[in-house]
Amino acid sequence: MINIDFGFGTIEAEFWRWMFVMTRIGAAMMAAPFFGANSVPVQVRVIVTGAVAVLVCGWLPIQAPPALLSANGLLMVMGEVLVGLTLGFVLQLSFAAPTIAAEIIGGGMGMAMASTVDPNSGVQSPALGQYFAVILTLIFLALGGHLHWLSLVIDSYTVFPPGQTWLGPEKFATIAGFATTMFATAVAIALPVTLVLLVVQVVTGVLSRSAPALNLFALGLPAGVLAGIAALIISFPLITDRMTDLSANALAETRSVLVK
């Protein structure tokens, strides 16, 4: 057994216990959509993770492995990381729906070329996707979803205590099945605008056949952009309702991972 002991007794034991608790919480926040965004400084993530871990250490009787660098201790740490990444990934999977909807709408409007750097992932994404992501984040925070999600992360210590963190094939199959809900929600968000754009494209095609002298690109692109913007404005209450349901479903799916 390999034990770490610097001779500080109880203080040192509490320190390693605190670091062990931070493992699951830090992994969950790193995988979550906005907690782990690239725009959030690493120092802020560490401070928030440490603050939550202090509260968890005071609430729950969690014990760190006696030999942290032994084979058993490293397996326990890997189990903590697995549970944390799973809880964050489920939330990340739910928040991918607006980006997919933006891809569908942007392609119909002819705005697929308009892309920008996503501050969450650091990769190129549609400009419309950034708009949807901001709306979803504001709705999620306004509903207190971040507090409910942190509560679920803390409850995971009761459902999956350290040393018993193997989720099992059924849990992984359930998490993979969440992709169905993600795609269905993306289609539901994009459907009203897509139908309007389809009508505009059909009308533009009829005009181009009846009057071949008209420039299809000069007529179709501005019409698609204007129709898409008008459809987004009109369908905004419906999109807001869909994103509210998406926030609730994200928490429900995260909670379902904790059900044995």
Domain limits of the chain?
10-257
Q: Is the pLDDT of residue 125 over 70?
A: no
Tokens of 190: 């994009």
Tokens of 169: 């094939």
Q: Is the pLDDT of residue 1 over 50?
A: no
Radius of gyration of the chain (CA): 24
* DSSP bridge pairs for 115: 126
Contact call for residues 81 and 24 (beta carbons, < 8 A): yes
Residue ranges of alpha helices (H) inside 95-235 are 97-109, 127-142, 145-159, 169-210, 216-234
Location of structure tokens 């890997």: 78
Reported as a single tens digit per residue, the pLDDT across 65-107 is 777 677 777 788 888 888 888 888 888 888 888 888 888 887 7
CA distance 243 to 185: 9
Direct distance between the N- and C-terminal alpha carbons of the chain, in angstroms, rounded to an integer: 32
CA distance 216 to 99: 29
Reported as a single tens digit per residue, the pLDDT across 157-203 is 888 887 776 777 777 777 777 888 888 888 888 888 888 888 888 88
Reported as a single tens digit per residue, the pLDDT across 30-66 is 888 877 777 777 888 888 888 888 888 888 888 777 7
Specify the higher pLDDT residue, 122 or 3: 122
Tokens of 217: 């690109």
Classify 37 in phi/psi space as left (phi over 0), alpha (psi -120 to 50) or beta. Answer: beta
